[in-house]
Amino acid sequence: MENNVGQNDGKVEVAPVELTQIEPGQGTMPGKDAKDINLKMILDIPVEIRVELGHTALSIREILKLGTGSIMALDRPAGSSADIIVNGKLVGQGDVVVVNENFGIRITKLVDPEQRIESL
């Protein structure tokens, strides 16, 4: 019994292919319009922004002893800048301020764009 499934007796089928012509400025051609379209695509992507005043390490025993009024020492001296972190990457530093009874941050330093890109 011969199995002829998938066999074409050594013959190769050839068919013409039609390709669409791409005009300048169409598709992903480099240029100002393409950059504007790419920028518009990412402008509404949500990102997580975190402001860190400092860090500390505690054991579970120490954490369980914490209560209202407990003081936890951080690794930074008073008056030092807080880190501004976007999606887990440091992008700058700033001073904590109060704005209409809410905390805010006044940016005092930004990481160079090249360093931000390298950290990705």
**In this predicted model, what pLDDT tens digit does every residue of 6-28 receive, in sequence order?**
555 667 777 776 766 656 555 55
Q: Name the CATH architecture for the domain at 48-118.
A: Roll (2.30)
Rounded-to-10 torsion of CA 59, 82, 50, 65 = 20
CB atoms within 10 A of CB 49: 11
C-alpha span between 82 and 53 (Å, rounded): 5
At residue 9, the pLDDT reads 66
Model pTM? 0.59
C-alpha span between 89 and 93 (Å, rounded): 12
Q: How confident is the model at residue 55 (pLDDT cuts 50, 70, 90)?
A: very high
